[in-house]
Structure 1
Amino acid sequence: MITLRRTCTLAAFALLPSFAVAEAQHGIAMYGAPALPADFTHLPYANPDAPTGGRVVTAEVGSFDSLNPYVLRGSVPWQLASLTGESLMGRTLDEPFTLYGLLAESVETPEDRSWVEFTLNAAATFSDGTPVTTQDVIWSFETLGTAGHPRYATFWTKVESIEPVGERGVRITFNTPDRELALLAALRPILQKAQWEGVDFAASDGLQQIPVTSGPYVIDRFEGGRYVSLRRNPDYWGADIPFREGTMNVDEVRFEFFGNETSAFEAFKTGEVNFTRETNVLRWNTQYSFPRVQSGEVVLEELLHQRPTGMTGLVMNTRLPQLADWRMREALIQAFNFEFINETVNGQPQPRIESYFGNSPLGMTEGPATGRVAELLEPFAADLTPGTLEGYAFPVSDGTERNRAGIAQALSLFEQAGWTVGSDGVMRDGSGTAFTFEIVIETGAGEVQSIVEIYVQALNRLGINPTVSAIDSAQYRERTDRYDFGMTYFRRGLSLSPGNEQYLYWGSEGADTVGGRNLMGARSPAIDAMIGTLLTADSNGDFLAAAQALDRALTAGRYVIPFYQWNVARIAHDATLHYPAHHPLFGDWPGWMPDVWWYEAP
């Protein structure tokens, strides 16, 4: 039976009073105070009476060659950082921009957030039993900022100083106005300094030098590229702190890796895997009636959430001359017959992603920009892509395969940009150069490959013959790290608390950083300015306006050809796996599964 559950009403964006004075707190919020009181006993979506035991096994498509998520080198299972590692404070899935004590028992920061001070929990230890000290904290900040993954570097440039305060305190002073920095500091991973003495942190072998961390799980067994098994640490130091009460209940969390989606699904059908997320609606509607579902051994559920849609689709690499002109990108968007592809791949219409922050209060509104949103964008009017201020919407086709109107519009846009179809049927510029590019996807990504195949047929009708390269996960990581593609599959999950990570996703400064997240190569003063306003806004109203303005600049920038929304999480799991009745605002998101689930036999 499929159960549909709706998340709680979003009330977190009401205007709240700001911090009055700097004093030790049990939590920290971007605006106002945390919703949970200092004496809270557990997170609202956790079950403090949950039993422990059992196992969760998921199927991952692809491979891995490292178990160190803190450096650029290697491909790492994405779940490791949150299940084995820890930070000074932890996110809650019910409150955007709010953190509660984890390794730190308290946090202190002034009204202007120019510095932040954390006091470590005296009980905090690493998995080998050694205490977490202020020196570990200071070393972690410095090392991650200078030798860690590039995603940590920007934060470190904004740190003026970091110093111990007494026996268990660490104070970090910032060199730039940015209200989010105090929260980002709380989320830096804390590693064991002693483990890395005399070792090149950035160049270490991720399957030989596995980080010692303080989290509730430790890596028990693994085989490179095949599986990773995590074991719940029975001596975990934080089992009884409020943030962890009722969480991390499953004894074993195992990730099995498969070469493609078909083999991963077969593993779930046979019981080798006992939890899966289904993103293909057609498969969900037609292939989930296998015997284990009919017998009740497997439960099917559809869960709603109130997160932004984020952006999923084919990202265009604007570093390439043929994709630098917005008219070319709009032409390629017009040629993408979403309605036909949607019906073909899903079997029934699914709503299209209309903007990056859609499905939330942060999303842009229809029509022209007004009010504070318009005020924020107006200074950049001369450089904005058409549609940013006036309003922009993705094209809608008639649903037929030929998409005559879309193809005609694409041809017109190509012609405006200086490209026409010659007598040989090939799209060329004035010098005779053919218009082409490479679409790079991962081997085994069956749904994406199906979409690309249909899209390429449409492009062929325009005289465009792109190369499609399906490569293994290691090659794919290396190619995308170097931005060596014309288009590739793109997924950016966005939260209700956007902040400095937006610079990583589409900030100009990181557009050419090897291993960066700005795959599109966006270099927009307006985008940079809207992110800056997000980070310095001293009111919820300015924060919302900046997010909506950013959404406009990104959407009208025509950087991505969007697919369909994932506003419904479709999950299937063994009936022995359970989760609390209270479903968090963020829904099925890192921090929920397996974090608050438990195993219980019928």
Structure 2
Amino acid sequence: MRNSLIAAIMALGVALTPHLAQAQETIIRAHSVSTFGELKYPADFKHWDYVNPDAPKGGTFSTWGFGTFDSLTPYILKGNAAALSSVFYDTLMTGNLEEPDAMYGLVAESLEYPENREWVIFHMRPEAKFRDGSQVTAHDVVFSYEILRDKGTPSFKTTFQYFTGAEALDDFTVKFTFDPDGPLRELLMTAAGIPILSKAYYADRDFAESSLEPPMGSGEYDLLSVDPGRSVSYKRRDDYWAKDLPVSIGTNNFDILKVEYFADYTTAFEAFKGGAYDFREEYSSKVWATGYDFPALDKGWVIKESLPDGRPAGTQGFWFNLRRDKFQDPRVREAIGMAFNFEWSDKSLFYGLYERTDSFWENSDTLQAEGMPSEAELAILEPLRAYFPETVFTEPAYVPATSDPDTLADRRLLRRAGRLLDDAGWVVGDDGFRYKDGQKLTLEVLNDSPSFDRIINPYIENLNRLGIEATANRVDPAEAQEREKNFDYDMVTQRFSMSQTPGDELQQIFGSASANTPGSVNVAGLSNEGVDKLIRVIADAQSREELNVAVRALDRVLRAMHIWVPQWYKGEHNIAYLDVYERPYTDNPPPLALGEMSIWWYSEEKAQALKDAGAF
């Protein structure tokens, strides 16, 4: 039995440490790690299969950002950090665009850990250097963990709640230990992904204060220029210490990454047509269907295409703020959801380009709940039955009712919604509005984009027909960011890209610990002990099949709770870009991302051809 175990471990490309006999436990030492031991690349791999190892370096990749920014410090609550400002930092290990739950050595050359994963030791590369030439040491890693835990965004406290310590065993060896009762399957990977900050740099600086000074990092990009609220540019470092590592070959090919900021989507699109930036992923169905007819596109200078998106489609919707008493009754939330006529919106506003979202893992055959709960799901759900709506057990996974696509006010559904509000005690008064205990039922939809008005306003009309005093409040992006940080809203639109291997990070979105933590991404303020327990089941899953079953159970529960009004999705990337870029694939990008900033490259030949044609 023991020889079989050792053989299995060796087959995975790992080894037993010399102190095995003394410790009487199997210690795995490896170049990489995954959630369930499924690894594609061996220790001697040369580069990721999906890159062009000979991709030329050079040129600029430019895109756009929404809103504003006033900081280059991405891991604190204060200020609004610029897009891509995490590029300054390396991590001990890094992932790729194929494997959803694998990490390979970057600053860490290797790692070792016991089978139960109660601790992990990372062996770091002495050649790793910060921008100023100083070495990246284990002391910097320990400092990073402690300062992020103590002064970083409040979400780090949740992220690190099962960490019991970090220590530098020597200058290039760091050990993390974990609570044995924690979700051990993935904690060592959380440690591997901590951004590494310079301890010396912050000796005379307050990490918690936002700043436009470029922080000291060991990453491949440094700051080129910054114009607060307008644009930010990063330059690739010629002296980047890891540029020849297998995880780096064929990646980060652009000399400059540039983000131009705009206050609204319409202005941003007009700027793209005018050549202000070169790459755009289009999220507006109206613009995609009607706006791409400008001269540069007609002349072939700009390329427009749709590419498949292999990820779960994300959780885009109108999210309720459950911290407010008026939304405590799920019947109220379900009724409000019924007033959103997606079918009319898709036909009248979206040009028939979208499908209705109903799952938090939409577009995933393995993670999305369907029909009645399976026996495997029930085995997880039954012990937690008291925490969940009874419909979890008695009805198929919730799917929004189909509305009349030809009439915004689908009277059939509005009548159903009205009965739900009646049953919840919100009755129509003489003035046509609904009241309960003398309080009027009001709802404000917070919005920071003029282009979203055309979607929200018809929804407001239907809510008013229900007797709800609903309003749309469009504010500038800076105010929206601040209000969202402090949960100052009734309802807000938000989208989360969900992992194909979800784990304890779900606490950040759905966990009780994050519900009232300023700056957290628990937009709904969901606080339910049963959900917390389900997240733990997911985090503790020992196989992918166990994980899939547990995620489907959670998806079923969340949908039954009506914590959001699901919007729409399209399982494609709609992109347009100036024809100066090339990529290592044609029709099928890696399953986890397009990789436009990391694995595409700038073509001098194409750029010259466009110049010769008078494009710029």
How far apart, in 2, do the equivalents of 1:232 and 1:349 lie?
38
Q: Is the aligned partner of 1:48 residue 2:53?
A: yes
Q: Give 1:510 deviation, angstroms.
A: 1.0
The residue that corresponds to 1:585 in the other structure is 591
The residue that corresponds to 1:528 in the other structure is 532
* Paired residues of 2:112 and 2:121 also in contact (CA < 8 A): yes
Q: Is the aligned partner of 1:124 residue 2:128?
A: yes
Q: Give 1:530 deviation, angstroms.
A: 1.3
* Paired residues of 1:19 and 1:32 also in contact (CA < 8 A): no
Alignment counterpart, residue 296 of structure 1, candidates 297, 300, 306:
300
Q: Is the aligned partner of 1:594 residue 2:597?
A: yes
Alignment counterpart, residue 400 of structure 2, candidates 390, 394, 397:
394
The residue that corresponds to 2:65 in the other structure is 60
* Paired residues of 1:304 and 1:587 also in contact (CA < 8 A): no
What is the letter of the counterpart of residue 30 of structure 2? Answer: Q
1:164-223: CA deviation from partner (whole Å, max 9, x where unpaired): 234411111101331110111100100101111132211x23224x32111111111001
Alignment counterpart, residue 381 of structure 2, candidates 370, 377, 382:
377
Alignment counterpart, residue 408 of structure 1, candidates 405, 410, 415:
415
* Paired residues of 2:93 and 2:103 also in contact (CA < 8 A): yes
Q: Give 1:386 deviation, angstroms.
A: 4.1
Q: Give 1:374 deviation, angstroms.
A: 1.2
Kindly tell me: are residues 455 and 158 of structure 1, through their superposed partners in 2, closer, same or farther at Cα, counting changes over 3 Å? Answer: same
1:536-569: CA deviation from partner (whole Å, max 9, x where unpaired): 1122222111111111111111111111113111
Alignment of 1:74-473 (within 5 A): 74-81=79-86, 83-175=87-179, 176-178=181-183, 179-202=185-208, 204-208=209-213, 210-389=214-393, 390-391=395-396, 392-399=398-405, 400-429=407-436, 431-442=437-448, 445-473=449-477
The residue that corresponds to 1:31 in the other structure is 36
1:509-553: CA deviation from partner (whole Å, max 9, x where unpaired): 111111111110111222111110111112222211111111111
Q: Secondary structure at the match of 2:431?
A: coil
How far apart, in 2, do the equivalents of 1:28 and 1:205 lie?
34
What is the letter of the counterpart of residue 599 of structure 1? Answer: Y
How far apart, in 1, do the equivalents of 2:368 and 2:391 lie?
12
1:319-342: CA deviation from partner (whole Å, max 9, x where unpaired): 111111100000001111111112
* Paired residues of 1:54 and 1:251 also in contact (CA < 8 A): yes
Kindly tell me: are residues 349 and 585 of structure 1, through their superposed partners in 2, closer, same or farther at Cα, counting changes over 3 Å? Answer: closer
Q: How many residues align?
A: 578
How far apart, in 2, do the equivalents of 1:85 and 1:469 lie?
37
* Paired residues of 2:296 and 2:302 also in contact (CA < 8 A): yes
Q: Secondary structure at the match of 2:158?
A: helix
How far apart, in 2, do the equivalents of 1:139 and 1:298 lie?
46
Larger mean CA deviation between 501-510 and 173-182 belongs to: 173-182
* Paired residues of 1:92 and 1:98 also in contact (CA < 8 A): yes
Q: Give 1:117 deviation, angstroms.
A: 1.1
Larger Rg: 2
How far apart, in 1, do the equivalents of 2:12 and 2:139 lie?
35
1:14-67: CA deviation from partner (whole Å, max 9, x where unpaired): xx9998942321111000142111111111221111001110111212110111
Larger mean CA deviation between 340-349 and 179-188 belongs to: 340-349
Q: Secondary structure at the match of 1:393?
A: coil
Q: Is the aligned partner of 1:487 residue 2:491?
A: yes
How far apart, in 2, do the equivalents of 1:79 and 1:395 lie?
39
* Paired residues of 2:28 and 2:115 also in contact (CA < 8 A): no
Q: Which has the higher contact order (CA 8 A, sep 6+)?
A: 1
Q: Give 1:368 deviation, angstroms.
A: 1.3
Q: Secondary structure at the match of 1:51?
A: coil
How far apart, in 2, do the equivalents of 1:32 and 1:277 lie?
34
1:85-138: CA deviation from partner (whole Å, max 9, x where unpaired): 221111112011111111111121211111111111121111121110111111
Q: Secondary structure at the match of 1:23?
A: strand
What is the letter of the counterpart of residue 425 of structure 2? Answer: G
Q: Is the aligned partner of 1:540 residue 2:547?
A: no
How far apart, in 2, do the equivalents of 1:566 and 1:129 lie?
46
Alignment counterpart, residue 517 of structure 1, candidates 496, 518, 521:
521
Q: Give 1:373 deviation, angstroms.
A: 0.9
How far apart, in 2, do the equivalents of 1:126 and 1:387 lie?
55
How far apart, in 1, do the equivalents of 2:390 and 2:490 lie?
23
Q: Which runs of 5+ in 2 are unaligned?
A: 1-10, 16-25, 607-616
TM-score (norm 2): 0.91
Q: Is the aligned partner of 1:476 residue 2:476?
A: no
Kindly tell me: are residues 19 and 509 of structure 1, through their superposed partners in 2, closer, same or farther at Cα, counting changes over 3 Å? Answer: farther
Q: Give 1:358 deviation, angstroms.
A: 2.1
Q: Secondary structure at the match of 1:197?
A: helix
Larger mean CA deviation between 411-420 and 169-178 belongs to: 169-178
Q: Secondary structure at the match of 1:379?
A: helix
What is the letter of the counterpart of residue 545 of structure 1? Answer: V
What is the letter of the counterpart of residue 196 of structure 1? Answer: Y
Q: Give 1:245 deviation, angstroms.
A: 0.5
Amino-acid identity (%): 35
Q: Give 1:264 deviation, angstroms.
A: 0.6
Kindly tell me: are residues 548 and 118 of structure 1, through their superposed partners in 2, closer, same or farther at Cα, counting changes over 3 Å? Answer: same
Q: Secondary structure at the match of 1:544?
A: helix
How far apart, in 2, do the equivalents of 1:561 and 1:103 lie?
42
Q: Give 1:349 deviation, angstroms.
A: 4.6
Q: Secondary structure at the match of 1:364?
A: coil
* Paired residues of 1:115 and 1:172 also in contact (CA < 8 A): yes
Q: Which runs of 5+ in 1 are unaligned?
A: 1-15
Q: Secondary structure at the match of 2:442?
A: coil
Q: Secondary structure at the match of 1:180?
A: helix
What is the letter of the counterpart of residue 404 of structure 1? Answer: R
How far apart, in 2, do the equivalents of 1:349 and 1:406 lie?
23
What is the letter of the counterpart of residue 33 of structure 2? Answer: I
What is the letter of the counterpart of residue 155 of structure 2? Answer: R
Following TM superposition, where does structure 1 have runs of at least 4 consecutive aligned residues deviating by more than 3 angstroms? 16-21
Q: Secondary structure at the match of 2:189?
A: helix
Larger mean CA deviation between 487-496 and 534-543 belongs to: 534-543
Kindly tell me: are residues 502 and 321 of structure 1, through their superposed partners in 2, closer, same or farther at Cα, counting changes over 3 Å? Answer: same
How far apart, in 2, do the equivalents of 1:470 and 1:354 lie?
26
Q: Is the aligned partner of 1:504 residue 2:508?
A: yes
Q: Give 1:362 deviation, angstroms.
A: 4.0
